[in-house]
Amino acid sequence: MKLKIAIAEDNLRFRTAFQRYLKEQQDLEFVIVAENGADLLLQLESVIADVVLLDIRMPVMDGFEAARLIRKKFPDIKIAVLTQFDIEENIIEMNRIGINSFIGKDQVEEIPRILDIIGQGGVYYPDRVAEIIKKYLNRISVLNAKCPVPLSELERILLQSISQGKSPSQIGELINKSPRTVEKYRNDLYQKFNVANQQQLIFEASKWSLLK
């Protein structure tokens, strides 16, 4: 089954380059092409997409507002943010919103592999992004506080595996459970940490120093 892709990018050159390259991939299908977040949200009302490639700086509605609304209205859609890694605050804010991946605009040839990872339920953060988020977490005062959420050893293993981008199937093999059971455990963690998705879960786990 092809992965259905939507893209919101106001730069015609980038948008055309992404479309041209990804159309050559047999397991990907473009279903939405939008110039801004408002256009994207409007089209998502009537067209099903699995993954959204989302630019940050766009007219009418920027990537931040679009990502927040997608998380609220279409929580199952995966979000991959297109970035040039130039502003740390943008990366930190998108991480708070709970996006699935950051993709550099110079990583066009890597996109099919990244889309495959997040399409299977994993996450992909380039080293540059992971380092920015790590430095941010090291600066916040709660880093050394004791986590208020009690966790079993199994839940700690699950948290660690999720942070490494492993899919439910891969985690299931590790702990000898079915993918469906892994998803149930993951949803239980969402409730414990009061988060909506695994990206927010990773952020909270990092904040409380629960990840190695």
Residue ranges of E strands in 26-138:
28-34, 51-55, 78-83, 101-104
Q: What are the distances in angstroms from CA 144 to CA 139, 141, 175, 178, 208? A: 10, 7, 29, 35, 7
CA distance 81 to 99: 7
Residue % of the chain over a pLDDT of 70: 94
Amino acid letter, residue 195: V
Q: Which one of 102, 121, 136 terminates a domain?
A: 136
Q: Give me 129's structure tokens.
A: 């992004």
- Rounded mean pLDDT of 115-120? 87
The answer on 18 and 107 residing in a single domain is yes
Question: In which element (H, E) is residue 30 found?
Answer: strand 28-34
Give the C-alpha separation, 131 to 138, whole Å. Answer: 10
Q: In which band, very low, low, confident or very high, does the pLDDT at 146 lie, cut at 50, 70 and 90?
A: low
Q: How far is CA 174 from CA 126, 178, 179, 188, in A?
A: 24, 10, 11, 18
Type of residue at 61: M
Stretch (H or E) spanning 112:
helix 111-119
129 and 180 within one domain? no
Query: Which residue segment(s) compose the domain that 95 sits in?
Result: 3-136
How far out from the chain centre does Cα 182 lie?
Answer: 19
Choosing from 117, 136, 155, the residue where a domain stops is 136
In which region does residue 194 sit, left (phi positive, over 0), alpha (psi from -120 to 50) or beta (all else)? left
Count of structural domains within the chain: 2
83: left (phi over 0), alpha (psi -120 to 50) or beta: beta
Specify the pLDDT at position 1.
78
What are the pLDDT digits (tens) for 55-91? 998 999 999 999 999 999 999 999 999 887 667 888 8
> Mean per-residue pLDDT for 3-11?
93
Q: What is the largest CA-CA distance in the chain?
A: 50
Confidence class for position 186, pLDDT limits 50, 70, 90: very high
Give the pLDDT band of residue 141 (cuts 50, 70, 90).
very low
Question: What is the tally of helices (H) and strands (E) in the chain?
Answer: 10, 5
Regarding whether 41 and 131 lie in a shared domain, the answer is yes
Give the CATH number of the domain where residue 28 resides.
Answer: 3.40.50.2300
For the residues 148-154, what does the mean pLDDT come to?
Answer: 81
Asked if residue 140 has pLDDT above 70, the reply is no
Going by pLDDT thresholds of 50, 70 and 90, the confidence category of residue 15 is: confident
Give the model's confidence band at 43: pLDDT under 50 very low, under 70 low, under 90 confident, else very high. very high
Place of tokens 């007219």: 59
